[in-house]
Amino acid sequence: MVQVNDSYLRLKAGYLFPEIARRVKAFTEAHPGAAVIRLGIGDVTEPLPAACREAMQQAIEAMGTREGFHGYGPEQGYGWLREAIARHDFQARGCEVSAEEIFISDGSKCDSSNILDILGAGNRIAVTDPVYPVYVDSNVMAGRTGDADGGGRYGGLTYLPITAANGFVAPLPEQPVDLIYLCFPNNPTGAVATREQLKQWVDYALAHNALILFDAAYEAFISDPELPHSIYEIEGARRCAIEFRSFSKNAGFTGTRCAFTVVPRGLTGTTANGEPVELWGLWNRRQSTKFNGVSYIVQRGAEAVYSPEGQEQVRGLIRFYMENAAIIRRELEAAGLQVYGGQQAPYVWIKTPDGLDSWGFFDHLLNQAHVVGTPGSGFGAAGEGYFRLSAFNSRANVDEAMRRIRAL
């Protein structure tokens, strides 16, 4: 008889975003005339940059010729894209990252889950609370946690609360851990980390032989020149950190799919016997075995992000979404709500009003304003009493959503 992976049965009833979709579907079926505005899931709305579209169109034309046709590409990504990333995103900021340390993929969500393939089951794991749900759920699926308690926290994980009191920057663990998930700019709170704060994490990881899994998917939205965009801007990070990046939010690739992960050469873990093993080689083998690479056409589109035209167009997209975030912050504050984030990140984190819990506020906005957001409790127990709105939408929708919320 076929057995299932029992670890999946430990997952909480519904992944956050499918549950949101279920509730919205039920509402729209009951109210077919309602014009629902979705500021929940962080999906972009503006068209792909022209430079990327043109590069992909040229690649499609090339694929129609014998000379320009490409079959299977390198699982790690084409060298010309990896070199462009290394030069523009890292070396230009003084980071010692080479092209061979960059692995192209179809999404940082996938990579932050798949990285567990090369890491042992006995690692002690720390996550922030609230947290991007994939970090937790992928560990549950892999059998690396116990059951969830009444508050939704899983046994075997160390939760690091991020709250208004600590500026939404997690405290260092009180007990030693081996794996640390960090996301800055933070999803869901919109908080950022200073160089000094990241240095504390790097120093901790080096002192405890721990590994930082650093999600920098929103780094392009940082406008303050004093804030770091990469963990590798911190001395010593190459010896203790893997970084995940994506073209989804900065260049609108959510439906096109292209991202990358940086695994430095010389970064090591240990075998069960305590022998050091380079993680680069393990990840390279994992990708070569279980991944066939991102399409040639998409990678040409991603390469165009680094052209002068692409850089200008991407800056325009980022500016547009951050203007949305500023409107959301301004209007919600004017409505008397307590608001965080939205200044170096495309997410606004709201304290729910009038004693409403997170899902209660979700239902209130959906039913009364026909606006969809994301309940903070879906990101973890410490997210209860908070609510996330995304700046990824049209200007008309953002303005109308804020008008409706203020009218409440």
Ligand-binding annotation for 388, yes or no, is yes
- In this structure, which amino acid lies at residue 393? N
143 phi and psi, to 5 degrees? 75, 30
Ligand-binding annotation for 7, yes or no, is no
Asked if residue 130 has a cis previous peptide bond (ω within 30° of 0), the answer is yes
What is the number of alpha carbons within 13 Å of residue 331 lying toward its C-beta?
20
Q: How far apart are alpha carbons 113 and 300 in whole angstroms?
A: 25
- In this structure, which amino acid lies at residue 357? D
Ligand-binding annotation for 248, yes or no, is yes
What is the number of alpha carbons within 13 Å of residue 400 lying toward its C-beta?
14
Ligand-binding annotation for 246, yes or no, is yes
Q: How far apart are alpha carbons 395 and 393 in whole angstroms?
A: 7
Q: How far apart are alpha carbons 361 and 250 in whole angstroms?
A: 29
Tokens of 71: 């079959």
Asked if residue 74 has a cis previous peptide bond (ω within 30° of 0), the answer is no
**Sequence-ordered list of residues with C-beta below 8 angstroms from that of 92, at least 6 positions apart, any chain:** none
Ligand-binding annotation for 247, yes or no, is yes
Question: In 13-137, which ranges are E strands?
Answer: 37-38, 102-105, 125-129
Ligand-binding annotation for 15, yes or no, is yes
Ligand-binding annotation for 132, yes or no, is yes
Ligand-binding annotation for 218, yes or no, is yes
Question: In 342-402, which ranges are E strands?
Answer: 347-351, 371-372, 374-375, 386-390
Ligand-binding annotation for 109, yes or no, is yes
Count the residues in the chain.
408
Ligand-binding annotation for 187, yes or no, is yes
270 phi and psi, to 5 degrees? -125, 155
**Binding-site residues for substrate, please?**
15, 42, 109, 132, 187, 292, 388
**Binding-site residues, please?**
15, 42, 72, 108-109, 132, 187, 218, 246-248, 257, 292, 388
**Binding-site residues for pyridoxal 5'-phosphate, please?**
72, 108-109, 132, 187, 218, 246-248, 257, 292
